[in-house]
């Protein structure tokens, strides 16, 4: 009997795979996004900062500078039993709400099919790089790749 229980437990562990690839609690904020991130493209410098890891709400701000400055206030928190991302481009209220559709490992996807553009926001992390994919539901859009940086760092100019 004990042998069968141990074998079953071992098979369950093997089937579950790497814990980082498993689904998260539907209200667990993506603490792996926390920090200051910088994308130094030739045409535009963009920083994104996230705080609140380990809490039920994370706050973010995105600042893009080209000829004009664009900013966006962001919040990730629970709504109707799962996470949602609230976006306020240039501080405009009310926020646009994107509901989480998946969160596995260090990848999270939010969608709002009723919004004009974007309709899907995907964040994923690879080491010290945080990627953000902004797209419509057909997959047309763009990706930004932010590198971890010292707080309030700027691109070399």
CATH number of the domain encompassing residue 99:
2.40.128.20
Q: Are 106 and 35 in contact (CB under 8 A)?
A: no
Q: How would you write the pLDDT of the chain (157 residues) with one tens digit per residue?
A: 434 433 333 333 333 334 445 667 888 999 999 999 999 988 899 999 999 999 999 999 999 998 889 999 999 999 888 999 999 999 999 999 999 999 999 999 999 999 999 999 999 999 999 999 999 999 999 999 999 999 999 998 7
Expressed as residue numbers, the domain containing 84 is: 25-148
Q: Are 35 and 50 in contact (CB under 8 A)?
A: yes
- Which residue bears the tokens 């910088």? 38
Residue 20 covered by a domain: no
Tokens of 112: 């709002």
Tokens of 145: 């790749």
Residue 2 covered by a domain: no
Tokens of 55: 């809490």
19 burial via Cβ count (<10 Å: 0-12, 13-18, 19+): exposed
- What is the predicted pLDDT for the residue at 100? 97
Residue 95 covered by a domain: yes
What is the b/e burial string over 26-51, where b = at least 16 CB atoms within 10 angstroms of the residue's CB? eeebbebbbbbbbbbeeeebbbbbbe
Provide the domain count of the chain.
1
Residue 138 covered by a domain: yes
Residue 76 covered by a domain: yes
Tokens of 100: 């989480």
The structure's pTM equals 0.84
Cα 49 → chain centroid: 11
Tokens of 18: 């790497």
Residue 17 covered by a domain: no
- What is the predicted pLDDT for the residue at 66? 86
Residue 82 covered by a domain: yes
Helix then strand count (H, E) for the chain reads: 1, 10
Residue 71 covered by a domain: yes
């Amino acid at each position: 009997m004990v042998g069968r229980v141990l074998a079953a437990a071992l098979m369950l562990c093997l089937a579950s795979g790497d814990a980082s690839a498993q689904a998260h609690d539907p209200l667990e904020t993506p603490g792996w996004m926390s920090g200051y991130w910088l994308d130094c493209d030739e045409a535009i410098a963009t920083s994104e900062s996230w705080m609140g890891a380990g809490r039920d709400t994370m706050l973010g701000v995105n600042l893009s500078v080209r000829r004009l400055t664009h900013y966006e206030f962001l919040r990730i928190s629970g709504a109707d039993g799962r996470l949602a991302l609230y976006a306020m481009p240039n501080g405009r209220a009310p926020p646009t709400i994107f509901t989480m559709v998946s969160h596995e490992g260090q990848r999270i996807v939010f969608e709002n099919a009723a919004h004009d553009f974007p309709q899907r926001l995907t964040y994923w992390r690879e080491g010290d790089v945080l990627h953000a994919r902004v797209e419509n539901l057909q997959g047309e859009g763009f990706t930004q790749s932010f590198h971890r940086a010292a707080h309030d760092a700027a691109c070399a100019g």
